[in-house]
Amino acid sequence: MGILGESRLQEAIPKMDAIGAREGLAWHFIGRLQRRKVRSVVGRFEMIHSVESVDLASEIDRRAGEQGSCQPVLLEVNLGGETTKAGFSPDVLTESVVVLDRMPNLAVKGLMAIPPLAGEVESRRQFFRRLREHAERLARMGLSRVRMDELSMGMSQDFEIAVEEGATLVRVGTAIFGPRPG
């Protein structure tokens, strides 16, 4: 299956309309999702990679329920404690997934993280390893609806290390298309 990821809804919609539905092609929303845009994303994307809070998850669950669907998502984890990044703090991840496990229209499939980009590429390995360890710990909790089958981590400059540490989904847009203009 081919997966196309988009981080900006306003750029994604024209591309999705132009390409249309195609067998073997899935669209994932990989950017920061604002609550006011949830209605436009739920049901349109096969997976949302950037669920950063219980409140956002609740809104996704509500909107998916209105559509009679169940939206697959990944939980964004802020492993570096960066104030410029969103995501669940590792300290609240366990209690949060217990709450999310009760949301009938939300299918948590795994975790996503973007480690701090400063320093040597190899220095990101520790963050990828920590994300995998969090996923393994959450999987052992035996929750009924939360799964830890996917780890979205690694980008064009560090995806090899991410794959070595267990990534199942990587972001390689820059390697394919080059840097974003402007």
pLDDT digits (tens, 9 = 90+) for 29-85: 999 999 999 999 999 999 999 999 999 999 999 999 999 999 999 999 999 888 888
pLDDT at 1 over 80: no
pLDDT for 88 beyond 90? yes
**Per-residue confidence (pLDDT) for residue 83, from 0 to 100:** 83
Above 60 in pLDDT, residue 174? Answer: no
Question: What pLDDT is recorded for position 2?
Answer: 84
- What percent of the chain has pLDDT above 70? 93
140 or 156, higher pLDDT: 140
State residue 81's pLDDT score: 82
For the beta sheet containing 150-155, the strands, ordered from the edge strand earlier in sequence to the opposite edge, are 2-6, 25-29, 47-51, 71-76, 106-113, 150-155, 169-171
* Full DSSP string of 54-86: HHHHHHHHHHHHHHT--EEEEEEB-TT--TTS-
Helix, strand, coil percentages, rounded to 5, for the chain = 40, 20, 40
Of the chain, the end-to-end C-alpha distance in Å amounts to 31
pLDDT for position 176: 53
Rounded to whole angstroms, the Cα distance separating 166 from 129 reads 8
145: confidence class by pLDDT, cuts 50, 70, 90? very high
The CATH architecture one would assign to domain 35-177 is Alpha-Beta Barrel (3.20)
* CA–CA gap between residue 158 and residue 161 (Å, rounded): 6
* CB-CB contact of 165 with 153 (8 Å): yes
Q: Give CA 25 to chain center in angstroms.
A: 18
